[in-house]
Amino acid sequence: MSFGIPVRNGLGIGLLSSTTLRSTRGQTTATPAISLNFLSGSLDSRVTFTRATTATFVGSNGFIQTAAINGPRFDYNPVTLAAKGLLIEEQRVNLLTRSEEFDNASWVKNAATVTVNATTAPNNTVSADAIIPNSGTNTLPGFFRNAVVSASDNENGVVSIYLKKGVGVSWVFVRYLNKANNFFNLWVNLDTGSVGATSTGSVVALPNDWYRCILPNNTGVGSTTAGRVTVCAVSGDGQNSFTGDGTQFFYAWGAQLEAGAFATSYIPTVASTVTRTADIATMTGTNFSDWYNASAGTFASQFTTSTISGTRTILDANDNTANESIRLRTVSADPSFTVTDGGVDQANIDAGTVVANTTYKMAGAYTLNDFATSIGGGAAVIDTSGTIPTVNQLQIGTSAAGNILNGCIGSISYYNTRLSNSSLQAITA
């Protein structure tokens, strides 16, 4: 997406380098030296993209699709079908085998039976199973399994599974019992997609009345026993039993357990666990140096992060180390513009606050002893002391330190001048 923005007449024109200036009704406008529009669903040829495995994403039709090895993923909102941009995620492992085969013996059935491939799943194939509670009143009628994980895998974990109402089952219950014997519970109303009053997790809506139910576990490990994932029908919010007649059922598909504090894209498994490696996107050599100005510049980006846990990099211009770096990132809920020279932060400016799964526009500008950042059209926050690093590449959605966005980048623009503070507000509004 190209940002055309007003620039004050007092701006130092000598710094503009190759940035094109044009006048519209007396107002001066700067054109980016480079503009990467990932909302278009295509990758600029100057960007090198790698990922050593296949990976899933939500396509423009709202269904889950699979990208090939080294294939970029352009994600979409599954309900509105709005483009979200280039999906960049860290490496993750689905620790649950047979993620779509609930009839398999590895999933223990409790007062329930399974009909395989009973309806169309979120990936638009007929691969979702029907879970049918037995007749009579039963506690937790559904399926469960012990997850074989290491101690480190289970310190922070998140369970996710796709569920849909069939007939006569309005409420489902998802539980994760971790190795410290702590219970994490999620009740979901499959009629509305609402979460129960005492639930820990969250729900994401998908087409055709499917819901991805997400249950995080952020406590430590206390024993060596495996954790347990349970999914079942219940009579209502906060309940653990269901009275069936043998005809009621709900649908299930795509079970996942990941080591981490938040869920990432679905990783299908069969007989063994599966690893999805990290997405890596870079611009190097003349693909970077042709537009970059070492003495002054402005980076702008539209992005969405799926988590505010940890440090999440939007972009990082660096020398392949963390010692020389210009980066836009979020640190927990704080969006920040950070400039590091000689291993020392010259500017580390907090632009405000962000929340997960929300789209923002953010910009950061730099020149000697003059740094500024803005997000969401807010007033620029400045720093008036610092030197400029020497950099030779751009990392997109990750940093030299390995901090990955875990979200989508809609666009990146670069102006090879230090834009005015009012201009930063304009391009991020």
10-residue mean pLDDT profile of the chain (429 residues): values are: 33 35 42 96 97 98 97 97 97 94 96 98 98 97 78 65 98 85 89 94 95 79 60 97 97 93 95 96 98 97 93 97 97 96 97 94 98 97 97 97 96 97 95
Tell me: do 318 and 424 sit in the same domain: yes
What is the distance between the alpha carbons of residues 83 and 65, in angstroms, rounded to a whole number? 15
Tell me: do 269 and 329 sit in the same domain: no
Closest CA to 33 of 429, 388, 424, 417: 417
Determine how β-strand 27-31 pairs with β-strand 311-318.
Answer: unpaired
Three-class SS of residue 389?
coil
pLDDT confidence of residue 71: 98
How far from 54 is each of 65, 181, 294, 350, CA to CA, in Å? 10, 34, 37, 36
Tell me: do 291 and 377 sit in the same domain: yes
pLDDT confidence of residue 5: 34
Tell me: do 328 and 344 sit in the same domain: yes
Tell me: do 103 and 188 sit in the same domain: yes
Tell me: do 107 and 225 sit in the same domain: yes
What is the distance between the alpha carbons of residues 36 and 222, in angstroms, rounded to a whole number? 47
Domain boundary among 247, 276, 305: 276
Tell me, what CATH number does 322's domain have?
2.60.120.200
Tell me: do 50 and 97 sit in the same domain: no
What is the distance between the alpha carbons of residues 193 and 301, in angstroms, rounded to a whole number? 32
Tell me: do 262 and 328 sit in the same domain: no
Tell me: do 198 and 288 sit in the same domain: no
pLDDT confidence of residue 149: 53
Tell me: do 335 and 353 sit in the same domain: yes
Domain boundary among 232, 255, 276: 276
pLDDT confidence of residue 33: 97
pLDDT confidence of residue 157: 78
HSE-CB of 101 using CA atoms within 13 angstroms: 11
pLDDT confidence of residue 3: 34
Q: Which helix (H) or strand (E) holds 313?
A: strand 311-318
pLDDT confidence of residue 27: 34
Domain boundary among 249, 276, 303: 276
Closest CA to 174 of 150, 207, 133, 202: 202
Tell me: do 284 and 216 sit in the same domain: no
pLDDT confidence of residue 25: 33
Tell me: do 10 and 109 sit in the same domain: no
Q: Is 402 left (phi over 0), alpha (psi -120 to 50) or beta?
A: left
Q: What residues make up the domain containing 108?
A: 93-276
pLDDT confidence of residue 222: 38
Count of domains for the chain: 3
